[in-house]
Chains A and B, each alone.
Chain A
Amino acid sequence: QVKLLQSGAALVKPGASVKMSCKASGYTFTDYWVSWVKQSHGKSLEWIGEIYPNSGATNFNEKFKGKATLTVDKSTSTAYMELSRLTSEDSAIYYCTRIYYSGPFDYWGQGVMVTVSS
């Protein structure tokens, strides 16, 4: 069965960076785009960007360009997102998702809670 297993919660200082992982299993990793989604205040969802593991091609929400970096390791079927220059506005839960061919997000990781605090 398809699973996306994300890394654990992170407590980071303002101005620092954080890198989180999303390990895929149960399907051919290189066949599907992986998206990253931010959930703030426990309710609203915001799309950060996506990466195609086969080629490394990426697309980003303009709002997150310069903030998020997406990479993959095909040998371990793992996608990564690094967030830089963190502020309190970056405190949120971050999900990785698999994108089904036409666009809906059919599988989600369990989420990573990032807390930015000194």
Chain B
Amino acid sequence: DIQMTQSPSSMSASLGDTVTINCLASQDIGNYLSWYQQKPGKSPKLMIYGATNLEDGVPSRFSGSRSGSDYSLTINSLGYDDEGIYHCHQYYEYPPTFGAGTKLELK
């Protein structure tokens, strides 16, 4: 199975900050990567697909990028509504696999 190594596992940032969450794939997955936001007690919500494409309705403060097998989710102008757990997900190969998640809290 493809391993997705996600970092950091948790982070704390301030209002207005820019934060970056990373996922490293254990093998080539092309652009078959998505990012989800999960708020407490809720289901995950698709934010980014195809490594860099913003899902409809997602604020442009969110962006995805790729450098080789390293994938990043960047959130600009952090707000309280951005708190939650962020998951990366590869769908290049069966079985689809997820990173371990990053818990983002605001100070």
Contact = CB atoms under 8 A, between A and B. Distances in A.
B100 interface: yes
B98 A46 contact: yes
Contact of B43 (A43, A44, A100, A109): A109
B85 interface: yes
A95 interface: yes
Interface string A18-40: 00000000000000000100000
Nearest to A61: B95
B101 A44 contact: yes
B90 to A, nearest CB: 9
A54 interface: no
A51 to B, nearest CB: 14
A59 interface: yes
Contact of A104 (B43, B89, B103): B89
Interface string B88-101: 01011011111011
Contacts of A107: 46
Interface string B75-107: 000000000010101011011111011010000
Given A43-B103, A46-B98, A47-B96, A104 B49 contact: yes
Interface residues of A, number: 21
B34 A108 contact: no
Top 7 nearest A-B pairs (CB, nearest first) are: A103-B91, A108-B43, A104-B49, A104-B34, A45-B98, A61-B95, A43-B101
B61 interface: no
A53 interface: no
Contact of B50 (A44, A59, A95, A102): A102
Nearest to A99: B91
B25 to A, nearest CB: 14
A59 B91 CA distance: 13
A89 interface: no
Contacts of A110: 42-43
